[in-house]
Amino acid sequence: MYTRKVYRILEVALWTRYETLFFLGLIGAWVTTYYFFDLEWFRIPWTAIALIGTAVSFVIGFQNNSVYGRIWEARKIWGGIVNTSRTLGVFAQDMLTNEYTDQDFSQEEIDKEVKTLTYRHIAWITALRYSMRSPKPWETTNQAKTNREWGIEPPENKTSLKEALTPYLSEEDMEYVMSKGNKQTALLYRQSHHLKDLKLKKMLWEFSFLEMENIIQELFTLQGKSERIKNFPFPRQYATINHYFMWLLLLLLPLAMIPQFAEIGTEIADKYPLLGNNFIWLSIPFYTAVAWMFHTMERIGRTGENPFEGTSNDVPISTIARGIEIDLRQNLGEEHRQIPEQFKADNNVQW
Most confident of 9-18, 148-157, 209-218: 209-218
Whole-number pLDDT of residue 147? 65
For 293-334, the three-class secondary structure string (H helix, E strand, C coil) is HHHHHHHHHHHCCCCCCCCCCCCCHHHHHHHHHHHHHHHCCC
Query: pTM above the 0.75 mark?
Result: yes
Whole-number pLDDT of residue 9? 66
pLDDT confidence of 275, banded at 50, 70, 90? confident
| Residue 264, pLDDT above cutoff 70 | yes
Whole-number pLDDT of residue 149? 66
pLDDT confidence of 3, banded at 50, 70, 90? low
Most confident of 103-117, 119-133, 142-156: 119-133
| Residue 1, pLDDT above cutoff 80 | no
